[in-house]
Structure 1
Amino acid sequence: MTEQNARDTDEPPLAFTDASYAFGDVTVLKEASVELQSGNFTALVGPNGSGKTTLLELFAGLRSLDTGTVTRPTASGRTVAYLPQTPGFRSGFTVRETLGFYTDLVEDSADPDSLLGEVGLNDAAARGVDELSGGMTRLLGIAQALIGDPPVVILDEPTSGLDPDVADHIFDVIESVASDGRLVVTASHDLAAIETRADRALFLSNGEFVLDDDPKRILEATDTETLREAFATVFRTETSGVTRPGANGGER
C-alpha cells in the first residue's frame, strides 16, 4: 500500500487507486478506484455488513489498505476529520468547555462559540455533555470535527436512531459544511435524505463501487423512482436470504 498527497486544487482531496482490503470474511475493497471532490457531499450506501464503516476508516487513515494507493490532502494542520457513529465526550464538562479543550490543541482553529454556531448549538453551550440528547451529541461531534478547518470531513451514520426533525437539521449542517468547499463523506441508511441532499452516492457491494453518480442519475440508470427502490434493485441478491414475517405469523 502506498500513500500520496493531493498537492494542488486539480487533484482530488481523497482517492483510492486499485485499492484492496479485507476484514475477516468481508472483502471491503477489491482493486477499487474512486476519486472524491472538494465541495461535495458524498454518501456511502450499502447493506449491513458490507464494510461501510471500515471503508470510512480507510478513507480517514485509521486503517491501511492491503494493496493499492490512497491519496489524501496535504497541508499544515488537520487535513482529515473522522466522526464515529457514537461519539463520546468526557463527563463533567460543559459543551463550550469540551469544545474549548479541543480547539486549544489545534493551532489557528476557530473559537468554540463560532463552531457551536455553525452546527446550531449556541443555546446549549453551558449545558453539560452528560445532559445532551443523542442529536446534540452528534452535533457536538461535528463541531469537533470542524476544528482546524480540515478539507475532508468523514461522518459515520450521523443521523442513525434520531428523530426526523433532528436528522433533517444534521443534514442541513452537512450540506452547509460541504458548501464551504470541504469534501464531506458519510455512510447513511437514510436513503430519502441522500436522494434529495447528496451530490453523489457510492453503492458499495462485494468490494466494488457498483454505482457511483448523482442520485438522480442513479434513478435513471436503475429505472427506479426512489433511491430506496434503487437500493432494493441493486442489493436484492445480497439480502434475499433475509426472511420476513408473513401476515399469518409465518415466514415469506
Structure 2
Amino acid sequence: MKLHHTTRTDGPTDDRTVVEVEQVSHSFDGLDVLGDVTFSIEAGTVVCIVGPNGSGKTTLLRLVAGLLDPDDGTVSVAGGTDRRVGYLAQQPAFRRQFTVRETVDFYGALVETSPDVDAILERVGLSAVADRRVDALSGGMRRLLGIAQTMVGDPSVFVLDEPSSGLAPTMRRHIRNVMDDLTAAGGTVLLSTHDLRTVERAADTVLLLDHGELVAAGRPEELLAEADAQRLETAVETLGPDAGAASVASGLRGGEQP
C-alpha cells in the first residue's frame, strides 16, 4: 500500500517543508524493512511515528537523520541545503564518568560553533545537575541529556527515538514541554513512540507504520474522525491494514502505560 501524506499548516507548503521522504525503501540482508514510504513534514511541527515493534520506525528515523541511505527513493532535509539534524537514539550511551556539563561540552567540541552549554541545560531542565556524573543520573535525566546533546550545533530538525519510553508520567510531561519549546523556537520534531498520551497531546501529525508500510497518516483528530473513534488506540485498530491492525494495536498497548 502506498500512502502519500503532507503535514499541513496555514502557511504555504513549499516554503515550510523541512523534511521530504519520497518513495523510500530499505532492507537489511534481503529483508524488506520499509517499502515505498512517502511523506513530508513542515517546520515547527511535532510528527509522531507509531506502530508495533519491527514496523520500521527506527529505520525510518535513521534514514531521516542521515545515518542510513535508502535503497530506493530520496530523503531530503531542509531542502537539501542544511542537513543539521539532532538525533537521539532509543538508548543513548554517554561516558559514565563525565558530568552533565562535560558531556555537552564534549559534543560541542565536535561542531563548528561552540554551543552555549548553560543555555542548553537550562532549556532541558538540567541546570541544577550540571556537575553530576552521568552514572548518577536517573533514567529520565539521561534522556534529557540525550535531548540536550541533540541541540548541539543548532539543528533545525530533531529526530527522537522513543524519548519518553519507560519514564514516569511526570518526566513524560516534562519531555513534552521540552518538545514544545523546540517547536516554539522554529524547530521540527520527528519522534517514534508507544506512548499514545504523548501522541494525543503533542502530535501535529501521526504516521502509522505497519510491516514497513505507511498505512495511515493525519492529525490525531483526523484519524479519530476517519475511524469514527473516541480514542486513538481504537483509531489505530480501525485504520490498520486487515492483516496488521491487530498487531499494530497490540504493539502500542504493549508500550508505556498511562
Same fold flag (TM > 0.5): yes
* Higher Cα radius of gyration: 1
Matched with 1:237 is 243
Matched with 1:247 is none
Matched with 1:5 is none
Residue 26 to residue 173, structure 1, CA distance change in 2 (3 Å): farther
Alignment of 1:201-240 (within 5 A): 201-235=206-240, 237-238=243-244, 240=246
- Cα deviation for residue 29 of structure 1 reads 2.6
**8 Å contact 1:82–1:155 — kept in the other structure?**
yes
Q: Distance in 2 between matches of 1:225 and 1:234?
A: 13
Alignment of 1:88-103 (within 5 A): 88-103=93-108
Mean Cα displacement is larger for which, 138-147 or 104-113?
104-113
- Cα deviation for residue 66 of structure 1 reads 0.9
- Residue of structure 2 aligned with 1:79, choices 78, 81, 84: 84
- Cα deviation for residue 12 of structure 1 reads 2.1
Alignment of 1:31-70 (within 5 A): 31-70=36-75
Length, aligned pairs only: 235
- Cα deviation for residue 16 of structure 1 reads 1.3
- Alignment TM-score, normalising by the size of structure 2: 0.84
For residue 93 of structure 2, what is the amino acid of its counterpart?
A: G
Residue 11 to residue 24, structure 1, CA distance change in 2 (3 Å): farther
Q: Distance in 1 between matches of 2:160 and 2:123?
A: 16
RMSD of the alignment, in Å? 2.2
What residue ranges of structure 2 are gaps of 5+ in the alignment? 1-13, 251-258
- Cα deviation for residue 95 of structure 1 reads 0.6
Alignment of 1:40-189 (within 5 A): 40-73=45-78, 74-75=80-81, 79-189=84-194
Q: Distance in 1 between matches of 2:90 and 2:98?
A: 21
Post-superposition CA distance 1:144-173 (Å, at most 9, x none): 101111011100001111111111111111
